[in-house]
Amino acid sequence: MAMSPGRLVELTRHLSGILRNLEEAGLTVEIGDDFARYRAYRNRQPDRGAIYPMFDVASSYVDHTNGFWICGFDSQGELVHTQAARLLDLTGISLATHLNLHRHKYITPDTTPDPDMTFYSDPQALQTITGKVCYQGDFWLRASGLGGPRSQGATSLLSRLLLELVAESWNPSFVFALVAKRLAAKGAHLRYGYPHCEPGRWLGPDQQVTEEDYLIWMGSDDMSNLLARAPEQLQRAGRDPVARSSVADIDPKAHLDTTATT
């Protein structure tokens, strides 16, 4: 269905405002759907864990039909932000079934003695999330001290940028992400724009808790309510604005953590 003129104006205003605010914080934004390029960017980060299989072309079928990514660069051209989205067809199955079948793509490496016998459990929403579902993950924003983009509120703006594109590109029934317990306890889901947050655990072969990832999620009505509000403004703009942003090879019709991948 074609975008209404009113929605086009609103989307343009929101996206331009977000990009302008990020540029004022010293972040150059690149958006793309070439996941070989994204893998190359991620491989330049030896201080981070390996790219998760959900977004790795060496492990998953991910391209312009079912995914896109967002990267942010500082004024020296250094990669300081990543996040990505995947569209999942869960028609006729629940998110619980999907996570059980594809758990190897979500389990953090080296957190369990046996990934084949490790399963995600507890959140009630796992049974009700179904249909056209979007996964937001690999969110990372480098810490830069009190004057850096994270302290200015860039986390909310960057997540909002992805959700605006998700809504317009795919109009999913649900969007979800997984966040570490320590971040969920600090209200991370609210910074990312999610109204729902449920405790979750990865249980290993002896029913031991191998990792605690909370499920954060929103339905289509939640997303509509979020996107109807004007994006938040940065708390403090940087002194040296970067005057460029780019959108690379993305056709709009076609785990979260501010310190590490999820």
- The CATH number of the domain holding residue 24 is 3.40.630.30
Q: Is residue 230 part of a domain?
A: yes
Q: Is residue 254 part of a domain?
A: no
> Residue 261 has what pLDDT?
41
Contacts of 21 (CB under 8 A, 6+ apart): 157, 231, 233, 234, 237
Q: What tokens appear for 9 in the block? A: 């104006």
Residue 112 in 3-state DSSP? coil
Report phi then psi at 26, rounded to 5.
90, 20
Q: What is the domain extent for residue 54? A: 5-248
Q: Is residue 116 part of a domain?
A: yes
Q: From its phi and psi, is residue 166 left (phi > 0), alpha (psi between -120 and 50) or beta?
A: alpha
Q: What tokens appear for 154 in the block? A: 């860039």
Query: Using CA atoms, how far apart are residues 197 and 212, in angstroms rounded to an integer?
Result: 13
> Residue 199 has what pLDDT?
97
Q: What tokens appear for 206 in the block? A: 């002896």
Tell me the pairing of strands 28-32 and 246-248: parallel
DSSP state of 125: G
Q: Is residue 196 part of a domain?
A: yes
Q: Is residue 260 part of a domain?
A: no
Question: At residue 180, what is the residue type?
Answer: A
Tally of domains in the chain: 1
Query: Using CA atoms, how far apart are residues 31 and 147, in angstroms rounded to an integer?
Result: 25
Q: Is residue 140 part of a domain?
A: yes
Tens place of pLDDT for every residue, the chain, 262 residues?
556 666 667 777 888 889 998 998 889 999 999 999 999 999 998 888 888 899 999 989 999 999 999 999 998 999 999 999 999 999 999 999 999 999 999 988 888 999 999 999 999 999 999 999 999 999 999 876 434 555 557 899 999 999 999 999 999 999 999 999 999 999 999 999 999 999 999 999 999 999 999 999 999 999 999 999 988 887 654 444 333 444 444 433 336 654 444 4
Q: Is residue 166 part of a domain?
A: yes
> Residue 210 has what pLDDT?
93
Q: Is residue 46 part of a domain?
A: yes
Question: At residue 21, what is the residue type?
Answer: N
- CA dist list (Å): 134 to 15, 28, 166, 173: 20, 25, 8, 8
Question: At residue 252, what is the residue type?
Answer: P
